[in-house]
Structure 1
């Protein structure tokens, strides 16, 4: 067998990886700081192998379980929002756990729900 090429990833693949990391954190498989560190690595990943490595110690779902993301153009101004949203989300999760206020959990779910719904349009 020949060596398989390592393909580059785009914003959609990075977003999917962060979404799946959030699923694992919600299931209790990742601590908040682990989730935050892996999201930072996902946001800066350039190759599929870098994203796959974030899931080496986790069961499904994984980015490699999903079909390849079709190519679409994204305005340059929106691509920078990914890191900002990941950091704000990690901060809200941290506050919800440390402060133990249910309002932060509700805000977190609402904020990410609205953001993902807007991104799907």
Structure 2
């Protein structure tokens, strides 16, 4: 493949995993690891990933070929989620609180009227 082919998140995630293995093996200290992770996530092409792995055993191309041999997925590894996004959830909670607070007096009056009539206070009695 051409080194100028654009990469996607799946390739960046694979590079991050491979870099993490080098970090776990003690080949990188924490500062080097975080610096190289920044390079991985900023990379747009395969050639921009090469410098990240240049001084590590196995090199960059070996890291890609072993990933394919291990049977890792080639495409995106994330599934679309059916969960509600956090900003929308926060908005719904705020709207719910506002609705309850602004309509609470009406609800309380309604409950008071219902309770008054339930106890029999609403019957008209004639005094004789």
Q: TM-score w.r.t. structure 1 length?
A: 0.50
CA shift, 1:69, in A, is 5.8
Q: TM-score w.r.t. structure 2 length?
A: 0.48
What residue is the counterpart of 1:12 in the other structure? 10
SS of alignment partner, residue 51 of structure 1: helix
Q: Alpha carbon RMSD of aligned pairs, Å?
A: 2.8
CA deviations on 1:16-65 (whole Å, 9 max, x unpaired) are 11111111011110010000000011011100111122100001274333
The structure whose Rg is larger is 2
* 4+ aligned runs moved over 2 Å, structure 1: 60-75
- Cα separation, 1, equivalents of 2:31 and 2:41: 15
Kept after mapping to 1: 8 A contact 2:9/2:76: no
SS of alignment partner, residue 54 of structure 1: helix
Kept after mapping to 2: 8 A contact 1:13/1:69: no
Of residues 39-48 and 64-73 in structure 1, the stretch that sits farther from structure 2 once superposed is 64-73
Kept after mapping to 2: 8 A contact 1:7/1:48: yes
Kept after mapping to 2: 8 A contact 1:14/1:43: yes
Aligned 1:1-121 pairs, distance under 5 A: 4=2, 6-60=4-58, 62=60, 63-65=63-65, 66-67=67-68, 70-72=74-76
Flag structure 1 segments of 5+ consecutive residues without an equivalent.
76-121
- Cα separation, 1, equivalents of 2:35 and 2:15: 13
Flag structure 2 segments of 5+ consecutive residues without an equivalent.
81-128
What residue is the counterpart of 1:92 in the other structure? none
CA shift, 1:70, in A, is 3.2
Kept after mapping to 1: 8 A contact 2:19/2:33: yes
- How many pairs are equivalent? 74
Kept after mapping to 2: 8 A contact 1:6/1:48: yes
